[in-house]
Every structure is written in structure tokens, then in C-alpha cells.
Structure 1
Amino acid sequence: MKSAPTPRVPGATLIRTGAIALCIASLAGCSTIKGWFGGKDDKNTEPAKLTDIISTATVSEIWSADAGKGEGLLGARQGPVVADGRVYAAAVEGGVHAFDLQTGQTVWSHESELQLSGGPGAGDGLVAIGSLDGDVIALDAATGAEKWRAKVGNEIIAAPAIGMGMVFVRSNDGRVTAFDAASGERRWFWNHEVPTLSVRGNDAPVLGPGFLFVGNDDGTVSALSAQDGRPLWDQAIAQQEGRTELDRMADVDGSPVLEDTTLYATSFKGQTMAINAPTGQPMWLSENGGPGQVAVAPSVVVVTEPGDTVFGLDKAGGSALWQQPALARRNLTAPAIHGSYAVVGDYDGYLHWLDLGTGEFAARARAGGDALRATPVVADGILVVQDIDGELSAFRLGQ
């Protein structure tokens, strides 16, 4: 059964009602409630079965490593980050680890008594991460030694963003807090109201020249001044429309993607937008989208819809170039770009490489045996993914 997205109440990790929890956690993306509790439509809620494919790409696993006890059913989409030839990863129980990107060898490990619920962020010689209790810790990227700690008022399940002398932390109550990267002193904070019901999860803020871009649970993207948190513009990716709170869920839960001066963002409501980043003006709007991050290639923008159809959108205008529906209800991750392919992971630990030109399957591999929820990360031609049990797997495309 599909297990995401999971809705949450602002400031809490639990669902408001058992009925809504069952609806979203197990069956999100279904267009009807018919058959949810048994009956002739049960097959319509089952994950699509994998069929044999003709591989046109060669994929090999080059290493695997263990980051500790993973997120399990937490819904945090806890994943790694790559910087300066190292993979930084954390687990809810197991601390923070640095691995060599090429070999998977452990460079350092930092033990922690905290439940580290978000993925780490890395940059400017720091690795920063948040906890279920709102703790923020900053480590020396070279050695893993702790440099400072800070606190926010709610759980953190998004990776911090680091740059311009600050660490930017998005907490689950809609607040962004900026800390001085050297001392951990709070520099500013910004609040954005969270709807009564929203999809469980959020993602890291994105840095641009003088800007901080934040995806919000009400379907908007906000641009802030990175120096002082001053709001610069807001743009709705999707409208909160519908008769019920469930219908109105429009979260922008994946990090927006900035390429040059264009910002790409997608919504759980099923819409994707290209935005002029300096002004906030829309450039195009597509009626295909989903709760995770977009993947941006030279001519294609790839999105995973809530029902787990993968779409390739024309980068210039947003029209659908292709779709791949064969992974329906397999609880797919957001896509990543790996060479000439889009890659998504699923609830059974499989990775699927799709041709960027056609959406056809090119390769498949299994990363451990547990569900993949975090977006795969690609650096120096290597794809790294983390499963919900805390296991990391690295893959390389063959010649």
C-alpha cells in the first residue's frame, strides 16, 4: 500500500483524525474512496506490479553504507547531501556520518543523543542538521566536531541551507530561522501560516544571490531577503480550492529548484510553475505536478504526480512531452537527473531510470530492501540514495 504523503497538524507529528490518517497515509493519489475498505475496487489501490524491461542503460552499484537506524514511518524523507567529494548522511538514531563519494569509506562519524529527523545540509565548511525536538547542531565538515547548538520551537524534518555566512532552518510550524554560521546566534526569523491540514513533510530552503526561496504548505513560494528575512514576493503555485480541507491541500513540499534566474516549483495539487526568480512573475504553468521536488534537465522538467505517474514537461513552456504511468501507486520519490535519465525510487527499494526523451524505462536496480522516500542525489556522475532503514546505496552509469 502507498504510505505517503502523510498529513500533519501544524506543530505536531501526528494526524488529526484516524480516518484522514488512513486516507492519506495509505492511499494518497487515489481519486475515489470506493474500495478503500474492501470490495471489488481493491486492485485499484494496489501498487502496480513491476514487469520485465529491456535495459538500454547499464547501471552498477559501487558501494553501500549504513548511517544508523533510519526514519521508518516518520515521513521525513531523510536523505544525504553531497559536498566537496563527501556524502553526509544522518539517521534518527545513529548520529551523522561522512563518507567518501567514490568509495563509500567512512571519513568520520559524529555520535549524537538527539533524534536527527531531517537530512543534513552542507556548505561553507559546515554540516548542519535538525532534530525532532527542534535542536540544530552544526559540525565541522572536515572532522565532524561539534561547533555549536541552537534551538527552534518545533521539529525539523528539512535539511538546513547554508550560505552567505548563515544557516537557514525550516521548522515544521512554517518558520524559517537564520543562524550565524560561525557562532550559532540567531540573526532573524520569518513565519508563514500553516493550514489546518497539510501533507506531512517539507524541504530545504533554496539560496540564490541575496535571496532565500521557501516552498510553503499553502501552495505558495516565498522569496525572502537572505540578509534579514524581509519578504520580497509570494507566488501561488496552486490555489487552496475545494469543499474540504483534504481537497484544499496544495503543499509545495519539495525544495524549489533554481537554474540561472528561473525558479521551478511544484505542488501536491498537481501543478508546476516556472517563475522569474528576481521578480516572482510566472513564466509558465503546467497542470502536472506533485508533492516532491522537480528535477531539471537541459530541455525537460520531470515531476512525480501524487498518483505516481511520472511526467516530462517541456522546459520552455510546461507542456507534457511524455508520461510514464507504469509505476502507479508505488509511492515514488521525487525524481533526480542522472546523465540522460530521470531516476525515481519506490516503496519496495527499487530505482527506475527513465529516458529523458521518451519516458521509457532504461534500467532498474534495487537499493537494499526497504522503502525509498528521499529524493536521490547525483554528484560527479554518482547517484546516492538513502532508504528508510538508514542504508545508503551508490550507483554509477556504465559506458
Structure 2
Amino acid sequence: MTWPLLNKSPVARAITVALSVWLTACASGGLRETPKALPDPLPQEAEVAIEWWHILGDQYADKSIAGLKPTVAESGDRIITALASGELLAIDAQGKVTRLGDLGVSITSPVTLDSNQLILADEQGNVRVVTEDLTPVWTLALNALVTEAPLVTDERVFVQSIDGRISAIERITGRLLWSFQDAEPDLTLTGTSRPVLVSTAQGDALVSGLANGKLVAISVVDGSVIWEYRITRASGKTEVSRLVDVDAQTTLLGSRLIASSYQGDLVVIDAATGRVLQARPFSTYRSILAEDEVWFGVKANSHVVAMDPATLEERWVNDDLEFRQVSELVRLGDVLVMTDREGWLHVLDVHSGDYLGARHIDWQGVQREPVPFSDGVLVQGDSTRLKFIKIR
């Protein structure tokens, strides 16, 4: 998503005001570009059908709901989603809503489901665990904003906050076990990477991207650094041109890690050793959709790309959505589905990249990527409308 800038110094704050706080998807790292107009007429090769939808909150007041993507239960037959007010809802595949209750505080992260418990973060800087009837299990005050879903194992909960801190919490008690934090630049994007769990030569580790352009693997036991790799170095004369955030979640494919950064490179790294296997220039703040035979990515200028995993060379490029701030990609059979900040959902052919169809989904825009659910996708828009969509 396009992230507001997080300013940590008077100079950075002044720059942020001058830029109207938004950094825009642009391959050169420049300021806001005009979104490319969609084809006229729109292709009709794919039908985008809205099966059901709900208004989840006050469309003028509950703005923070736009950043909270729904969480699909392990059973696959329902989702849990949050309102900005703190209310939590369960919705099944037919669109039936069950109200779970109200936490009474705004929620800032998507919910993680684990053993009939909900794990999430709130606007007061707390990580919370509650049962599905919202009975509190424990609360830990981190005093930092968490915007990505917590990562949960049998023994620990891991979160990465927007100040760059990675924290490990005891799963049962909520006791803070350790925190890791590396030096960060004064000006960063307020988004964060979400850690992934990998096996290394020195034991299990968390791998995550940082705002200083590094990818780091840290021990789950004590937070010590096992290996690190700088994907890109800050360059340029302005603080904006020096942004190098690694905000996209690293993709794990077998024993390989696929990571990328804003104004930097796409790299393939051996998870066990941190050794770089492949690299190519590729500026993005979206995760790579990696499959055995083909990888897909969205460049910072919203060009959608299919790559050969063996060489990282491009098989096809679609520039129909240039500068439209396209979301991460979801594959449904032979099509790729994505949203944009203008509120559209787009469909591309997986094999050729051809533009197959689109539909305007939300009049206020969409910040989050579609979420696969049942035989379609969920899209949560900025107007607080949640829609279940099928592609035919």
C-alpha cells in the first residue's frame, strides 16, 4: 500500500508537510504521478461479480478500518474482521454476520486466529489476546504502533512495530521475552514488513525487512542476529530520494527467500545461510507472488511483471495500470486479481498479462490487497464496505 511518511526529526517533519505526507508509487522515486486512464471501452473477457457486501462502519468516521484486511479462519468457511471502533465480526461464505463483541479501543492490525483466540494490536500500543467472546487472556503494552498481523507459534507471538522494533512475547503469559531494533533513518514509510519464520544453520529465525534497506534474520530464542543483508543503500540528495524501506513481506519458497525494497533490488537469498543467490533491480513495496514456474510482482510505478524464477528475466509486463498504486497480487486460477487506490479491481491473464476486465469497487478507494476466500476474493474498501467478489 502507499504509506504515509514517518518523521523522526524536525527536518523530516518539514519535508513531510511539504509533500502533503503521501509518498507515491513511482519507479524513479518522484512525487505523485497522474494515474493512467483505463482502457476505453473496458475489456469484457472477465466478469467481476459482487456476490454480497456489508457496510462495516461509519464511512466518514471509521477511516482506520480501510487498512485492516479480513482474516480467513483455518477452516476456510468464515472470516474475522475488525471495525475501527474496536468491534469484531465473524462473516461466513454466504455473507451472514455474527457480532463477536466490542473491545472498546481502535484496532490497528489485522487479527491472527490461533486456538479459538484472537491476537491483535490496538491504537494504544498494546498487543492483546482475547477469546472469541472477547474475554481478555492477556495484554502487553509495547507503546508502539503495530499495523501488521502478529505472527504466532506454539510458544511465542512476534510483532514488528512501525518504529522498526521486532518483539517476541511468550504465547501463554504475554511476557515480553526480547526486542530487536536496528538503526533507522529519520524519514521512513510508516508501513512495516511482517516477519516470516525460517530454518537457518543456527536454528529457527525470524526474517524481516527494515526501513534502513536491510533484510535481517534473528534468532527466535533471544533476538540475536544470525545474518543480515543490505538490499539497497540510501542515495540521493533529498531525504525522500534516500528512502529504502523493505516494507513488503518476504516471500518464502522452499529454502529460498525472495525480498525487495523501495528504490532498490529484488534478491533471492538462501534462508539457512543468508547467501545471495540472485539479484536484479526492482523497486517495489509489494510482496512477490512466487510459484514454482513463475513469479509475479508489482513495480513501484504499478507495472505488473511476470518473471522467470531461474533468471529473473521478465516474461511479460503490463503497464495498463501505471501509477494507479496497485495492490499486491492474488492468483485465482488463470487470472491475477488486484485493486488500486482509485477503488478499482482489475483482472489480468496469468499467462500473457493481457488486461481482461475491471470493476469499480469502492468510491473512496482501496488500500489493501484482495483476500482469497471460498471461491472468490474479499475486498475491504476505504468507505468501510466489505465485498465478496467472484471472477467469471
With the shorter chain as reference, the TM-score category is 0.7 to 0.9
User: Which residue of 2 is the match for residue 41 of structure 1?
Assistant: none
Distance 1:168 1:351 in 2: 32
Partner of 1:9: 7
The residue aligned with 1:40 is none
Partner of 1:129: 120
**Matching residue within 85, 96, 100 for 2:88:** 96
Question: Given the two structures, how large is their TM-score scaled by the length of structure 1?
Answer: 0.86
Equivalent residues of 1:136, 1:150 under 8 A apart: yes
1:312-327 residue pairs with structure 2 within 5 A? 312-327=306-321
Alignment RMSD: 2.9
- Tell me, in whole angstroms, the C-alpha distance in 1 between the residues paired with 2:27 and 2:223: 38
Q: What TM-score results when the alignment is normalised by the length of structure 2?
A: 0.88
Counterpart of 2:73 in structure 1 is: 83
Distance 1:301 1:152 in 2: 36
Residue 282 of structure 2 is aligned to residue 293 of structure 1: no
The CA distance in 1 between the partners of 2:213 and 2:58, in whole Å, is 32
In 2, the alpha carbon distance for the partners of 1:304 and 1:318 equals 14
- 2:155 alignment partner in structure 1: 165
The alpha carbon displacement at 1:312 in A equals 1.7
Tell me the equivalent position of 2:348.
Answer: 354
Cα distance in 2 for residues equivalent to 1:228 and 1:335: 34
Amino acid at match of 2:51: I
Q: 2:45 aligns with which of 36, 50, 56?
A: 56
CA contact (8 A) 2:164 2:210 kept: yes
Name which of 106, 110, 113 aligns with 2:101. 110
Alignment of 1:229-378 (within 5 A): 229-378=223-372
Cα distance change on mapping 1:132 and 1:342 into 2, 3 Å: same
One-letter amino acid of the counterpart of residue 92, structure 1: A
SS of 1:45's partner is coil
Q: 1:72 to 1:388 in 2, by over 3 A?
A: farther
Structure 1 residue corresponding to 2:192, chosen from 184, 188, 202: 202
Secondary structure at 1:16's aligned position in 2? helix
**Residues 316 and 216 from structure 1, CA distance in 2 versus in 1: closer, same or farther, beyond 3 angstroms?**
same
One-letter code of the match for 2:37?
Answer: K
- Which amino acid letter does the alignment assign opposite residue 166 of structure 2? V
SS at match of 1:279: coil
Amino acid at match of 2:262: F
Shift of 1:22: 2.1
2:34 counterpart of 1:46: yes
The 1:248–1:177 alpha-carbon spacing in structure 2 relative to 1, beyond 3 Å, is same
Shift of 1:216: 0.8
Q: Percent of aligned pairs with the same residue?
A: 23
Q: Distance in 2 between matches of 1:26 and 1:185?
A: 36
Structure 2 residue runs without a partner (length 5+): none
Matched, 1:218 2:212: yes
Secondary structure of the 2:35 match is coil
- In the TM superposition, residue 152 of structure 1 has moved relative to its aligned partner by 0.5
Deviation at 1:244, TM superposition (A): 2.5
> Residues of 2 paired with 1:99 and 1:346: CA distance?
24
Deviation readout 1:133-182 (Å, 9 max, x if unpaired):
21111122x54443221110211222211123221111111111111222
- 8 A Cα contact 2:66 2:381, kept in partner: no
Q: Which stretch of the first structure deviates more once superposed, 50-59 or 322-331?
A: 50-59
Q: CA deviation at 1:75?
A: 11
Q: Tell me: CA distance 1:230–1:319, structure 2 relative to 1, closer, same or farther (3 Å).
A: same
Q: Which residue of 2 aligns with 1:387?
A: 381
Segment drifting more, 289-298 vs 162-171: 289-298
Which amino acid in structure 1 is aligned with residue 5 of structure 2? P
Q: Deviations over 1:97-149 (max 9, x none)?
A: 2222x223224423122221222223344321112221111122x54443221
Shift of residue 57 of structure 1?
3.3
2:66–2:380 contact (8 Å) kept in structure 1: no
Aligned pairs, how many? 384
Q: Which runs of 5+ in 1 are unaligned?
A: 37-43
| Structure 1: distance between partners of 2:207 and 2:20 | 31
SS at match of 2:366: coil
